Amino acid sequence: MCGRYAITLPPEAVRSYFGFSDQPNFPPRQDVRPTQAVPIVRLENGERRFALVRWGFIPGFVKDEKEFPLLINARSETVFEKASFRNAIKRRRCLFIADGFYEWQKLDDKGRKKRPFLVRRPMQGPLALAGIWECWQSKDGSEIDTAAILTTSANAVLAAIHDRMPVILEPRQFDAWLAPETANPDVARMMQPLDDDALELVPLDAAPKDDLFG
């Protein structure tokens, strides 16, 4: 599960890595949380565009969001089968912008004691977390773009603290991932654990927080 992450890189570094021309004014965030507005990259008229969406996927068939569970992740192993996700994974794939994410290691059998870790690239570069998005229409007719992060089994580095990790894509995969015409088997092959040497674990003394939400 990926439940909190960070976006701290300068906007120009993000634009260069993800390949979009928009110039958004999105401030650095140490602690991005579910239900917040989060930045993604998706295709619009064949071009990569920056967009802000709600982190918490709401399928189109949902009538009342308050009566539906919060879906911040989608398991890659079942995403093509689940009614909530199967349309989005085929037609509405996106990239979550990040440069680190957080996981907690259980220190006792009951999980009452946990230690936070920041997971990042050794050189502290960007991370493209694979996602899906959906435009949901509420009862009053207003539309909300929502999204979820795809997860896969943990690689050897992450397995030391957690059994799952986000699907992380490299720039060479961006075009195929975002293109709606990419065949399902090709999409499935991209949803694999990242190489072990591509990530490092940084132990933290305290849980992350932003001043706005701490």
Strands (E), the chain: 5-7, 29-32, 37-44, 47-55, 73-75, 93-98, 100-106, 114-120, 127-137, 143-153, 164-166, 168-169, 200-203
Confidence band, pLDDT 50/70/90 cuts, at residue 111: low
Handedness of CA 191, 124, 154, 105 (dihedral sign): negative
Catalytic, out of 2, 77, 81, 200: 2
Q: Is residue 213 pLDDT above 60, yes or no?
A: no
**38 within domain boundaries:** yes
Q: Is residue 208 part of a domain?
A: no
List the one residue out of 5, 2, 61 whose CA is nearest residue 28.
Answer: 5
Q: Is 67 a catalytic residue?
A: no
User: Considering its fold, how many domains does the chain have in total?
Assistant: 1
CATH number of the domain where residue 92 is located:
3.90.1680.10
Question: Does some domain include residue 167?
Answer: yes
Residue with the larger pLDDT of the pair 116 and 212 = 116
pTM: 0.94
Q: Is residue 210 part of a domain?
A: no
The percent of residues in the chain predicted with pLDDT above 70, rounded, is: 97
Identify the active-site residue in 44, 103, 134, 143.
103
Whether 213 maps to a domain, the answer reads no
Domain that holds residue 188: 5-203
Q: Is 103 a catalytic residue?
A: yes
Amino acid at site 31: D
Give the model confidence (pLDDT) of 45-83 as tens digits: 999 999 999 999 999 999 988 889 999 999 999 999 999
The answer as to whether 211 is a domain residue is no
130 is a domain residue: yes
pLDDT score of 103: 95
Strand order in the sheet with 100-106: 29-32, 5-7, 100-106, 114-120, 200-203
